[in-house]
A = this chain, B = another copy of it.
Amino acid sequence: MENIPNAVVKRLPMYYRHLGELKESGVERISSGELSERMNVTASQIRQDLNHFGGFGQQGYGYNVESLHTIIGNILGLNKKYHVIIVGAGNLGRALANYTNFEKSGFVITGIFDINPDLKGEIIRNVSVSHIDELETFLKRNKVDIAALTVPKAVAAGLADRMVKFGVNAFWNFAHVDLKVPEHVIVESVHLSDSLMRLSYSLSNLEK
C-alpha cells in the first residue's frame, strides 16, 4: 500500500462499522450521498478517501455494501488472525477479554497476566490468568502480535520494555502515559482521561 494519510486511516474503521451495520440490516448498495448523511462526512470526502484504495463506486450505482465492507476489512488487516495478550487483569483488562466482537474480527486472546497472585489460574473467557513473572517464558514459547496494556501508568513502561525484548511489536496501551518504544514498535494508545477532558472542554465552553 502507498502512504495513506493518517486522517484517512483514522476514518477507515468508521466506514467499516457503518458498512457492517448496513450489511446486517440487509442493505445491498448505497450511494456516497447516503453514506455521507449516515456518517456525518461529506460525500466528496468519502469518494476521496476510498480513491486512495482504488475507488470502488460505480457512477449511478453507488457502492456494493458487502464487497466494500470486505475490502475495507482487508485493508484494515481484519482478514488475518492476531494473537493478543492482556497484561493487567483488572476491570479494564476483563472488559477487553470479554468483548466477543474482538474475537470475531480475528483478535484471539491467548494469554492474560496480572501481578496479583490471587488471580493466577482464574479463567477469563477460556484463558487462565498467569502471574506476570511468567511473561517472558510465555513470550519465548508463543508468538504474540499485540499486547494490551491495562496496568497502572507507573508500571506500563517497564512492562512494555520487557515485552519488546521478547519480540512484541505492537501495544494497545490503556495506561495513562505515552510509551517510549523503539521505532519499529507500534503503539496505539487509548487515553480515557484525554477523552473525558475533551468532553469537559466542550461542556465548559457550551456553558459560556
Chain A residues within CB distance 8 Å of chain B: 1, 9-10, 12-14, 16-18, 21, 39-40, 75-78, 80, 82, 90-92, 94-96, 98-99, 101-102, 105-107, 145-146, 169-170, 172, 176-178, 184, 186, 188, 190-206, 208
Contacts and interface: CB of A to CB of B under 8 A. Distances in A.
A208 B101 contact: no
Q: A interface, by DSSP: helix, strand, loop or mixed?
A: helix
A197 B151 CA distance: 21
Given A91-B91, A92-B92, A192-B96, A200 B9 contact: no
Nearest to A148: B196
B194 A13 contact: yes
B176 A101 contact: yes
A108 to B, nearest CB: 12
A196 B77 contact: no
Number of copies: 2
A178 B39 contact: yes
Nearest to A189: B195
Nearest to A102: B196
Given A190-B192, A192-B190, A199 B170 contact: yes
Given A82-B203, A186-B202, A204-B77, A196 B107 contact: yes
B178 A40 contact: yes
Nearest to A77: B204
B186 A172 contact: no
Given A170-B203, A186-B206, A197 B90 contact: no
A84 to B, nearest CB: 9
Contacts of A13: 191, 193-195, 197-198
22 contacts: A10-B198, A12-B197, A12-B201, A13-B191, A13-B193, A13-B195, A13-B197, A14-B191, A21-B177, A39-B178, A76-B197, A76-B200, A77-B200, A78-B197, A91-B94, A95-B95, A96-B192, A102-B193, A146-B200, A186-B199, A188-B202, A190-B190
A140 to B, nearest CB: 21
